[in-house]
Chain A
């Protein structure tokens, strides 16, 4: 069965392109365009991996990540954070709230796919 990846990002263009890219590589994807919807979807659908943008309406990426990672039921879902903010402090904060990987926009599709493959290995 195809692995399910949840994309939480408010940029419709990125989301469309990501979905297309993931589909080609054999992944199933679901989408949430704001933080609150993303968290709800993550809890309901229990995806295999989450691609999470930092700057989101309603609930930001840090909070979503923290809420998931501090919950026994969801803490094992790998989270890849991506954002346009390439500041060291963001990266640090991202790691602190428990993200498993951090990718800066614009990402090379290969790099992202490698990361996803690595995290979904077992």
Chain B
């Protein structure tokens, strides 16, 4: 082997140098000329000092050494290395941070037993934190370090000589690749599952390098590895979890896909492919931000916001796949994701097309049922109508013959014809009842609610009944409260209910019986009871009383037989009014039929009424106007107009308004002095004409009491239009009320010119007044002004008005007659009367007013 002696300088004072010194100092072929380090206390210099090896802080002192032929630099300073390279004699070799292999090669330079050397080398490895193993080229273990023993519990004696493959296992393919690599002298990295003495395993990550001689023949394999069991376990767990998660996602019943920040699809699960009908490849081709499919339904925008971290949900979206064209109804959920710093969105799509379909089916079935029900109602209604015309002819023909218009008839003929006419009448009643029932059932009955005293309805119904009662010698007794019981009901319909109950009582009560009708005025409702001393009803039958075509008991004569619809109609009418109806009875002890009528607040009826108007208008696609008329200070009406009841005023007004409209159901009065008029299918112009007509009628009516006024009476009107100004009933009412405008005021008719004038009111010098007084309404006798503060009625002021140029200025003394606050604008309306005005100014004012203010 090489006879040349190695004369060495070691540069660097750290551990590597220490190992080097220890390794080489006993080697006769190696002569350490010097150890260099800036720090005299560095481990390498200390060791050298102890061993008597020259050492120092300056490498140049050793560079001049004649025998020097090798420099080993363990120091990490690159500047130092390059300086050495620069200054060293050409004959001197230099190595930086020698690898084990190099050390090996160094060692190889000497005739030395490998075993011995390895023993020395092993000392280096003993300090290593890694698991170290050295094998021969065949893979038989020659050396293990203490870490290996610690990990496996196997000592050197137990391991040396054994095949690496017995202890460290790996996948066959990987093993093949590994041997190929390391046999070629290249480095290999990979994992082993290494057996422990106790039968367990641990995972190691190993770097295997070949140690070769100068001729490149492999001497040994050096395996340095770290324990990766913990990492491996975590990895396995992760992998298992990943597999589970993936299995869930792949088998999920809803579509899942991931969209990247650029709108590309990152991942899609099979369910999504199934839903969309797209192939995997095509789906991955979609771009959310580019294709109309996503833009159209707004999904693209939502995904953009989700990319900024906002979760979203879209329900029942009609989604058409881009390539397949398949249409579905989907619910989308978007969840913002952050994957390795990249923002993405996870989309979950739930296919609810099936659900929609079954909903649709249900809806259709329902519709069909409703249609059939409607058909039934229509049928009854049509048949009944069709009965009427021939019935009219039959009855009239019979009547005329019976009355002898067609010639003389015998007694017997007369008797038979009477029977025919009676039955025609009965048939007529049945047809009418049937029509009523079909109307109630289909909700086609419209209540014409007005404010009425229920006592009056009962009195009228009772007196009409009186004649009939006399036939059977029965007595009708009415027990009514002394005070009026005012309710919002449909007079005609409630009369029908009472007549029906009275007629039932009459039918089932024997001669000489007694019928009592009473009204109880309760806090929230009125209860009306019709009591008889008749045959009574069995308990079991009471519940069925209000069912269709139910008949119990025998009326005293066949003439009185009905069809069993009367109570059904009663129930329908009472329920429409929001009341209840029931019967109390015992066989043989008479019956009582009772019903309630709730005291609905007029406001509720107002709204109900307006809502139904809106519904009708919407159905007909026509407009609807609302006129509101309000008597201000209605509560104090008796003071303003003594001797006339408020109800009379309301009734009078109602009558006047109805006359203007010539229609029934569109007027509605409230017990607080408010009146609502609904005009359907009328445009703004028409509505304001009608409003003015109403105003005129009201004024006419109010004027009747002119002489009786003690104080000013104000009536305001307002108008709003659906759907232009308001979309809901409430809004419509509110708007009309806000726009209320006075139409009449004061005990005398003072104004014939009004509205539109806004003239600043001036004050006489030195007088206290307010700024911003404006005349808003002007007449010969006085004016209405707006101002921003309260003025006491009775106050006198010297005022002036600047009329347009050609009229000039007028001055006068005025007395404040009334004041009222306008809630909406927070200003006051003040009515002033001109108490003193010069004749000249009076003339000017008159001329101005007659000109219409122009």
Among A96, A105, A109, residue most surrounded by chain B Cβ atoms (within 10 Å)? A105
Taking CB atoms, residues of chain A closer than 8 Å to B467 are: none
Looking across the interface, which residue of chain B has its beta carbon closest to that of A14? B393
Looking across the interface, which residue of chain A has its beta carbon closest to that of B389? A84
Docked-complex contact B662 and A96, CB < 8 angstroms: yes
Interface of chain A residues 46 through 105 with chain B (CB within 8 A)? 84-86, 88, 92, 95-96, 105
Q: Decide if the interface of chain A is mainly helix, strand, loop or mixed.
A: helix
The answer to the question of A2 belonging to the interface, with a C-beta cut-off of 8 Å to chain B, is no
A67–B448 Cα distance when bound, in Å, is 30
Taking CB atoms, residues of chain B closer than 8 Å to A109 are: 396, 399
- When A85-B385, A95-B662, A106-B428 are in contact, do A21 and B400 touch as well, CB less than 8 Å? yes
Among A17, A20, A106, A109, residue most surrounded by chain B Cβ atoms (within 10 Å)? A106
Nearest chain A CB to B620's CB is how many angstroms away? Answer: 11
Docked-complex contact B663 and A106, CB < 8 angstroms: no
The answer to the question of A107 belonging to the interface, with a C-beta cut-off of 8 Å to chain B, is yes
Q: CB-defined interface of B379-405 with A at 8 Å, one 1/0 digit per residue?
A: 000000110111111011101100001
The answer to the question of B435 belonging to the interface, with a C-beta cut-off of 8 Å to chain A, is yes
Docked-complex contact B395 and A106, CB < 8 angstroms: yes
* B396 partner, pick from A14, A84, A88, beta carbons under 8 A: A14
* A106 partner, pick from B386, B388, B400, B446, beta carbons under 8 A: B388
Looking across the interface, which residue of chain A has its beta carbon closest to that of B662? A95
A13–B397 Cα distance when bound, in Å, is 9
Looking across the interface, which residue of chain B has its beta carbon closest to that of A53? B389
Docked-complex contact A20 and B388, CB < 8 angstroms: no
Taking CB atoms, residues of chain B closer than 8 Å to A1 are: none
Taking CB atoms, residues of chain A closer than 8 Å to B393 are: 11, 13-14, 17
Nearest chain B CB to A105's CB is how many angstroms away? Answer: 4
Interface of chain A residues 15 through 60 with chain B (CB within 8 A)? 17-18, 20-21, 24
Docked-complex contact A17 and B663, CB < 8 angstroms: no
Docked-complex contact B662 and A24, CB < 8 angstroms: no
Taking CB atoms, residues of chain B closer than 8 Å to A24 are: 405
The answer to the question of B665 belonging to the interface, with a C-beta cut-off of 8 Å to chain A, is yes
12 CB < 8 A contacts A-B: A13-B393, A17-B393, A21-B400, A21-B405, A84-B386, A85-B385, A92-B663, A92-B664, A105-B391, A106-B396, A106-B424, A106-B428
Nearest chain A CB to B105's CB is how many angstroms away? Answer: 116
Among A14, A84, A86, A92, residue most surrounded by chain B Cβ atoms (within 10 Å)? A84
> For chain A, which range describes its interface: under 10, 10 to 19, 20 to 34, or 35 or more residues?
10 to 19
Interface of chain B residues 357 through 391 with chain A (CB within 8 A)? 385-386, 388-391
Q: In the A-B complex, list the 8 residue pairs whose CB atoms are closest, starting with the nearest.
A: A106-B392, A84-B388, A13-B393, A105-B392, A17-B396, A105-B388, A84-B389, A106-B395
A85–B392 Cα distance when bound, in Å, is 13
Footprint of B on A, CB under 8 Å? 11, 13-14, 17-18, 20-21, 24, 84-86, 88, 92, 95-96, 105-107, 109
A18–B662 Cα distance when bound, in Å, is 29
Taking CB atoms, residues of chain B closer than 8 Å to A95 are: 662-663
Nearest chain B CB to A115's CB is how many angstroms away? Answer: 15
Docked-complex contact A96 and B663, CB < 8 angstroms: yes
A95–B663 Cα distance when bound, in Å, is 7
Footprint of A on B, CB under 8 Å? 385-386, 388-393, 395-397, 399-400, 405-406, 424, 428, 435, 446, 448, 662-665
Looking across the interface, which residue of chain A has its beta carbon closest to that of B388? A84
Other than A88-B448, A95-B662, A109-B396, give 18 A-B pairs with Cβ distance below 8 A: A13-B393, A13-B397, A17-B393, A21-B396, A21-B405, A24-B405, A84-B386, A84-B388, A85-B385, A88-B446, A92-B663, A92-B664, A95-B663, A96-B662, A105-B389, A106-B396, A106-B424, A109-B399
A109–B395 Cα distance when bound, in Å, is 10
A23–B110 Cα distance when bound, in Å, is 158
Nearest chain A CB to B425's CB is how many angstroms away? Answer: 9
Looking across the interface, which residue of chain A has its beta carbon closest to that of B424? A106
Docked-complex contact B405 and A20, CB < 8 angstroms: yes
Docked-complex contact A86 and B405, CB < 8 angstroms: no
Looking across the interface, which residue of chain B has its beta carbon closest to that of A13? B393
Docked-complex contact A17 and B388, CB < 8 angstroms: no
Docked-complex contact A86 and B435, CB < 8 angstroms: yes
Taking CB atoms, residues of chain B closer than 8 Å to A86 are: 435
Taking CB atoms, residues of chain A closer than 8 Å to B396 are: 14, 17-18, 21, 106, 109
Looking across the interface, which residue of chain B has its beta carbon closest to that of A91? B664
Taking CB atoms, residues of chain B closer than 8 Å to A106 are: 388, 391-392, 395-396, 424, 428
Docked-complex contact B392 and A14, CB < 8 angstroms: yes
Taking CB atoms, residues of chain A closer than 8 Å to B435 are: 86
A84–B405 Cα distance when bound, in Å, is 25
Taking CB atoms, residues of chain B closer than 8 Å to A107 are: 392
Taking CB atoms, residues of chain A closer than 8 Å to B388 are: 84, 105-106
- When A88-B446, A105-B388 are in contact, do A17 and B397 touch as well, CB less than 8 Å? yes
Nearest chain B CB to A97's CB is how many angstroms away? Answer: 11
Among B386, B435, B663, residue most surrounded by chain A Cβ atoms (within 10 Å)? B663
A25–B174 Cα distance when bound, in Å, is 125
A95–B661 Cα distance when bound, in Å, is 10
A49–B448 Cα distance when bound, in Å, is 31
Nearest chain A CB to B299's CB is how many angstroms away? Answer: 49
Looking across the interface, which residue of chain A has its beta carbon closest to that of B439? A87
Taking CB atoms, residues of chain B closer than 8 Å to A21 are: 396, 400, 405
Taking CB atoms, residues of chain A closer than 8 Å to B424 are: 106
Docked-complex contact B389 and A11, CB < 8 angstroms: yes
Taking CB atoms, residues of chain A closer than 8 Å to B446 are: 88
Nearest chain B CB to A53's CB is how many angstroms away? Answer: 9
Looking across the interface, which residue of chain A has its beta carbon closest to that of B405? A24
A14–B396 Cα distance when bound, in Å, is 8
Looking across the interface, which residue of chain B has its beta carbon closest to that of A23? B405
A88–B396 Cα distance when bound, in Å, is 25
A96–B666 Cα distance when bound, in Å, is 13
Looking across the interface, which residue of chain B has its beta carbon closest to that of A110? B399
Looking across the interface, which residue of chain B has its beta carbon closest to that of A112? B396
A24–B396 Cα distance when bound, in Å, is 14
Looking across the interface, which residue of chain B has its beta carbon closest to that of A98? B662
Taking CB atoms, residues of chain A closer than 8 Å to B428 are: 106
Docked-complex contact B400 and A17, CB < 8 angstroms: yes
A85–B439 Cα distance when bound, in Å, is 13
Nearest chain B CB to A2's CB is how many angstroms away? Answer: 17
Taking CB atoms, residues of chain B closer than 8 Å to A18 are: 396
Among B390, B395, B396, residue most surrounded by chain A Cβ atoms (within 10 Å)? B396
Docked-complex contact B389 and A14, CB < 8 angstroms: yes
Taking CB atoms, residues of chain A closer than 8 Å to B448 are: 88
A109–B313 Cα distance when bound, in Å, is 72
Looking across the interface, which residue of chain B has its beta carbon closest to that of A104? B388
* A92 partner, pick from B391, B399, B665, beta carbons under 8 A: B665
Nearest chain B CB to A43's CB is how many angstroms away? Answer: 25
A106–B386 Cα distance when bound, in Å, is 11
Taking CB atoms, residues of chain A closer than 8 Å to B391 are: 105-106
Looking across the interface, which residue of chain A has its beta carbon closest to that of B444? A87
A105–B391 Cα distance when bound, in Å, is 8
Taking CB atoms, residues of chain B closer than 8 Å to A13 are: 390, 393, 397
Nearest chain B CB to A23's CB is how many angstroms away? Answer: 9
Nearest chain B CB to A55's CB is how many angstroms away? Answer: 9
Nearest chain B CB to A68's CB is how many angstroms away? Answer: 17
A85–B406 Cα distance when bound, in Å, is 30
Taking CB atoms, residues of chain B closer than 8 Å to A92 are: 663-665
Nearest chain A CB to B660's CB is how many angstroms away? Answer: 13
Nearest chain A CB to B233's CB is how many angstroms away? Answer: 84
Taking CB atoms, residues of chain A closer than 8 Å to B392 are: 14, 84, 105-107
A32–B386 Cα distance when bound, in Å, is 22
A34–B406 Cα distance when bound, in Å, is 27
Nearest chain A CB to B434's CB is how many angstroms away? Answer: 12
Taking CB atoms, residues of chain A closer than 8 Å to B664 are: 88, 92
Looking across the interface, which residue of chain B has its beta carbon closest to that of A86? B435
Taking CB atoms, residues of chain A closer than 8 Å to B390 are: 13
Taking CB atoms, residues of chain A closer than 8 Å to B662 are: 95-96
Taking CB atoms, residues of chain B closer than 8 Å to A105 are: 388-389, 391-392
Nearest chain A CB to B171's CB is how many angstroms away? Answer: 90
A29–B392 Cα distance when bound, in Å, is 19
Taking CB atoms, residues of chain B closer than 8 Å to A85 are: 385
